[in-house]
Structure formats: structure tokens, C-alpha cells
């Protein structure tokens, strides 16, 4: 039987037993937790957890069985196979530190995703110290007069690239409601 790698992310009101329930569930299905991080936000009294694990059970089996734990702890959760990477578009500002950090984390495997492109209202030359490799770069300058056309082009890129998520890497333009 083949083994699949998964990411499980969850949040819920904090209370004892969450980590035990999640790890026991994965163990009982023959899974192996490879990495786990959790955080208790004292201000909101919410618990956050991310688990990376391998398991021979398919995602449907994992999801179906996990519903009981989700109900017991009032979880908001997501489970996905690692192979099902999110397709992202990064929108960057002239100050490149956020973009550099995202690209570095992506290259070392800390942020598994498919980068469909990088959009900026500044030309590529502004980022001369960054190696974009084969990542498409879109220069979409914006002024008050060109903002609607620029945003239309942005939506076109999102649709054409089949983007799941847009990351604002300190992108300093306010996007309209349209």
C-alpha cells in the first residue's frame, strides 16, 4: 500500500486533549507524524495546530473519521495531500524583504506551493538582486487613472494561471472591491 503525505491544519477554542486526540487518530490509522506545531493564543483563547504526517489511508478515509474529533473540539480544519499544492500569485512592493523571505522559504521547502507568478507595480529591474528563476514576472504599473485596467489585468492573470490564493508581500496598493 502506498503512503501519502498530508497537512492537517486546525483551530478551535483551547482546551485540554486536542493534541492527544489528533495524534492518537493519526496513529490509529497507521500514520506517522513528521512535524507538528501548535500555538495557544491567550488573547483569543484559541488553539492553532499544523501537522505534517504520512499515512497509507486515503484522504476520504482520513476526513470521514476526523469529523468526530472536529465536532468534539469544535474545530475549523483543513486536510490536504502534500501533492495537492496550492497555486499562488505573489504581489510585491518595491521593498522586497517580504518577497525575498517567501521565495527563500519556498526554495528550502518550508512553504510548499506552486508560484504561478509575481506581480508588482514596479519594474523587474527594481528586484535585480532576486533570482526569480522561471517564475513569471508581471509589471502592472498603477496610477489613479489606470487602476481599473490594472486590476482587470490582475484578475485576468489570476484566472489564466488558475490561482488558488494571492499573497500580498507588503503590496502597498489598496485593491478595490471590484
Grid cell locating 87: 497555486
pTM above 0.85, yes or no: no
Domain(s) of CATH 3.30.70.260: residues in the chain = 4-81
Q: Which of 5, 16, 167 is nearest to 89 (CA)?
A: 167
Whether 85 shows a pLDDT value over 90: the answer reads no
How far apart CA 57 and CA 133 sit, in angstroms, is 36
The percentage of the chain sitting over the pLDDT mark of 70, rounded to a whole number, equals 97
Q: Which of 103, 131, 119, 130 is nearest to 156 (CA)?
A: 119
In CATH, the architecture of 4-81 is 2-Layer Sandwich (3.30)
Residues 87-169: name the CATH superfamily: Formyl transferase, N-terminal domain (3.40.50.170)
Are the CB atoms for 171 and 91 separated by under 8 Å? yes
Helices (H), 30-146: 59-73, 97-107
pLDDT at 130: 85
Q: How would DSSP label each residue in 28-46?
A: HTT-EEEEEEEEEETTTTE
How far apart CA 130 and CA 99 sit, in angstroms, is 9
Map residue 53 onto helix, strand or coil.
strand
Domain(s) of CATH 3.40.50.170: residues in the chain = 87-169
Whether 119 shows a pLDDT value over 70: the answer reads yes
Amino acid at each position: 500500500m502506498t503512503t501519502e503525505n498530508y497537512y492537517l491544519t486546525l483551530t478551535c477554542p483551547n482546551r485540554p486533549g486536542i493534541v492527544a486526540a489528533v495524534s492518537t487518530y493519526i496513529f490509529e490509522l497507521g500514520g506517522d507524524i513528521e512535524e507538528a506545531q501548535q500555538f495557544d493564543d491567550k488573547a483569543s483563547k484559541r488553539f492553532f495546530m499544523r501537522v505534517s504526517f504520512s499515512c497509507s489511508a486515503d484522504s476520504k478515509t482520513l476526513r470521514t473519521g476526523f469529523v468526530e474529533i472536529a465536532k468534539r473540539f469544535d474545530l475549523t480544519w483543513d486536510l490536504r495531500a502534500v501533492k495537492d499544492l496550492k497555486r499562488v500569485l505573489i504581489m510585491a512592493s518595491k521593498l522586497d524583504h517580504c518577497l525575498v523571505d517567501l521565495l527563500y522559504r519556498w526554495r528550502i521547502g518550508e512553504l510548499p506551493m506552486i508560484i504561478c507568478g509575481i506581480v508588482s507595480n514596479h519594474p523587474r529591474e527594481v528586484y535585480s538582486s532576486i533570482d526569480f528563476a522561471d517564475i513569471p514576472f508581471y509589471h502592472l504599473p498603477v496610477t489613479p487613472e489606470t487602476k481599473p485596467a490594472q486590476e482587470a489585468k490582475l484578475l485576468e492573470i489570476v484566472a489564466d494561471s488558475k490561482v488558488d490564493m494571492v499573497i500580498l508581500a507588503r503590496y502597498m496598493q489598496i485593491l478595490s472591491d471590484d
